[in-house]
A and B are shown apart, each in its own frame.
Chain A
Amino acid sequence: MSKPVEQLSQVIVRFAGDSGDGMQLTGSQFTSETALLGNDISTLPDFPAEIRAPAGSLPGVSGFQVHFADFDILTPGDAPNVLVAMNPAALKTNIKDLPKGGTLIVNSDAFNERNLQKAGYATNPLEDESLGEFQVHSVPLTSLTVGALKGIEGVTPREAERSKNMFALGLMSWLYGRPIEPTVEFLEEKFAKRPEIAEANVKALQAGYAFGETTESFAVTYEIKPAKLTPGTYRNITGNQALSLGLVAASRLSKLPLFLGAYPITPASAILEELAGYKNFGVRTFQAEDEIAAAGAAVGAAFGGSLGVTTSAGPGVVLKAETIGLAIMLELPLVICDIQRAGPSTGMPTKPEQGDLLMVLFGRNSESPVPVVAPRSPSDCFDAAIEACRIALKYRTPVYLLSDAYLANGSEPWLLPDVESLPDISTTFATEPNDGDEFLPYLRDEQTLARPWAVPGTPGLEHRIGGLEKADRTGNISYDPDNHDLMTRLRAQKVAGIASDIPELEVDDPDGDARVLVLGWGGTYGPIAAACRRVRTGGRSVAHAHLRHLNPFPRNTGEVLRRYDKVLVPEMNLGQLLKLVRADFLVDAVGYNRVSGIPLRSAEVADAIEAMVDQ
Chain B
Amino acid sequence: MSTNGHLTAKDYRTDQEVRWCPGCGDYAILAAMQSFMPELGIARENTVFVSGIGCAARFPYYMNTYGMHSIHGRAPAIATGLATTRPDLSVWVATGDGDALSIGGNHLIHALRRNVNFKILLFNNRIYGLTKGQYSPTSELGKVTKSTPMGSLDWPFNPLSLAIGAEATFVARAIDTDKAGMTAVLRAAAEHRGSAFVEIFQNCPIFNDDAFAFVRDDKEGVNRVPLRDGEPITWGAGAEKALRQRSDGSIEICRADDEGVLVHDAHHEGAALAFALSRVTQESHGGTPVGVFRDVERPVYDDLMAGQLAAATEKFGEGDLGALLHSGETWKIG
Interface of A toward B, CB cutoff 8 Å: 32, 35-36, 38, 182, 226, 229-236, 245, 248-249, 252, 257, 259, 261, 278-284, 286, 288-290, 292-294, 296-306, 308, 322-323, 325-326, 330, 416-417, 419, 456-468, 476-477
Shortest A293–chain B CB gap in Å is 4
Distance between Cα atoms of A308 and B82 in the complex (Å): 10
Are A231 and B309 in contact, CB atoms less than 8 angstroms apart? Answer: no
Distance between Cα atoms of A284 and B74 in the complex (Å): 20
With A38-B331, A296-B77 given, name 7 new contacts (CB 8 A).
A35-B329, A235-B328, A236-B329, A282-B319, A292-B77, A297-B80, A322-B74
Quick one: which of B56-79 are within 8 Å of A by CB?
A: 60-61, 63-71, 74, 76-79
Residue on A with the closest CB to B311?
A279
* Residues on A with beta carbons closer than 8 Å to the beta carbon of B64: 462
Residue on A with the closest CB to B113?
A289
Distance between Cα atoms of A229 and B53 in the complex (Å): 56
Residue on B with the closest CB to A258?
B85
Shortest B130–chain A CB gap in Å is 12
Are B313 and A467 in contact, CB atoms less than 8 angstroms apart? Answer: no
Say if the beta carbon of B332 comes within 8 Å of chain A: yes
Complex partner residue of B70 from A236, A252, A257, A467, CB under 8 angstroms: A467
Distance between Cα atoms of A304 and B63 in the complex (Å): 18
* Residues on B with beta carbons closer than 8 Å to the beta carbon of A330: 68
Quick one: which of B34-54 are within 8 Å of A by CB?
A: 43-48, 50, 53
Given that A460-B3, A464-B14 are known contacts, is A293 also in contact with B74, CB under 8 Å in the complex? yes
Are B61 and A464 in contact, CB atoms less than 8 angstroms apart? Answer: yes
A-B contact list, 10 entries, CB within 8 Å? A257-B85, A280-B313, A284-B309, A286-B81, A289-B107, A293-B77, A296-B78, A305-B86, A322-B74, A456-B86
Distance between Cα atoms of A466 and B107 in the complex (Å): 19
Distance between Cα atoms of A465 and B69 in the complex (Å): 6
Give the size of the chain B interface in residues (CB under 8 angstroms): 64
Are B325 and A300 in contact, CB atoms less than 8 angstroms apart? Answer: no
Complex partner residue of B45 from A245, A259, A457, CB under 8 angstroms: A457
Say if the beta carbon of B246 comes within 8 Å of chain A: no
Residue on B with the closest CB to A417?
B325
Complex partner residue of A278 from B47, B319, B328, CB under 8 angstroms: B319
Say if the beta carbon of B322 comes within 8 Å of chain A: yes
* Residues on A with beta carbons closer than 8 Å to the beta carbon of B85: 257, 259, 284, 300-301, 304-306
Quick one: which of B300-334 are within 8 Å of A by CB?
A: 305, 308-309, 311-313, 315-319, 321-322, 324-326, 328-334
Given that A249-B321, A278-B319, A298-B81 are known contacts, is A235 also in contact with B69, CB under 8 Å in the complex? no
Max chain B C-beta neighbours (<10 A), residue from A229, A292, A461: A292
Distance between Cα atoms of A292 and B46 in the complex (Å): 26
* Residues on A with beta carbons closer than 8 Å to the beta carbon of B326: 233, 235, 416
Complex partner residue of B71 from A248, A289, A467, CB under 8 angstroms: A467
Say if the beta carbon of B136 comes within 8 Å of chain A: no
Are B45 and A280 in contact, CB atoms less than 8 angstroms apart? Answer: no
* Residues on A with beta carbons closer than 8 Å to the beta carbon of B60: 464, 466
Distance between Cα atoms of A164 and B275 in the complex (Å): 58
Residue on A with the closest CB to B108?
A289
* Residues on B with beta carbons closer than 8 Å to the beta carbon of A230: 333-334
Are B88 and A477 in contact, CB atoms less than 8 angstroms apart? Answer: no
0/1 string, B145-179, CB within 8 A of A gives 1: 00000000000000000000000000000000000
Are B1 and A459 in contact, CB atoms less than 8 angstroms apart? Answer: yes
Complex partner residue of B88 from A32, A232, A325, A457, CB under 8 angstroms: A457
0/1 string, B82-109, CB within 8 A of A gives 1: 1111101100000000000000001100
* Residues on A with beta carbons closer than 8 Å to the beta carbon of B216: none
Are B44 and A462 in contact, CB atoms less than 8 angstroms apart? Answer: yes
Are A300 and B77 in contact, CB atoms less than 8 angstroms apart? Answer: yes
Given that A280-B313, A301-B82 are known contacts, is A456 also in contact with B45, CB under 8 Å in the complex? yes
Distance between Cα atoms of A236 and B328 in the complex (Å): 9
Distance between Cα atoms of A290 and B108 in the complex (Å): 12
Say if the beta carbon of B247 comes within 8 Å of chain A: no
Shortest B59–chain A CB gap in Å is 10
Are B80 and A286 in contact, CB atoms less than 8 angstroms apart? Answer: yes
Shortest beta-carbon contacts, A-B, top 9: A231-B334, A466-B69, A300-B81, A297-B81, A281-B319, A296-B77, A279-B312, A293-B77, A300-B78
Distance between Cα atoms of A146 and B61 in the complex (Å): 73
Are B324 and A35 in contact, CB atoms less than 8 angstroms apart? Answer: no
* Residues on B with beta carbons closer than 8 Å to the beta carbon of A38: 331, 333
Distance between Cα atoms of A226 and B325 in the complex (Å): 23
Complex partner residue of A252 from B2, B83, B88, B321, CB under 8 angstroms: B321
Are B82 and A300 in contact, CB atoms less than 8 angstroms apart? Answer: yes
Complex partner residue of B16 from A182, A300, A476, CB under 8 angstroms: A476
Shortest A390–chain B CB gap in Å is 16
Residue on A with the closest CB to B57?
A466
Say if the beta carbon of B110 comes within 8 Å of chain A: yes
Are B317 and A293 in contact, CB atoms less than 8 angstroms apart? Answer: no
Given that A462-B45, A464-B66 are known contacts, is A278 also in contact with B324, CB under 8 Å in the complex? yes
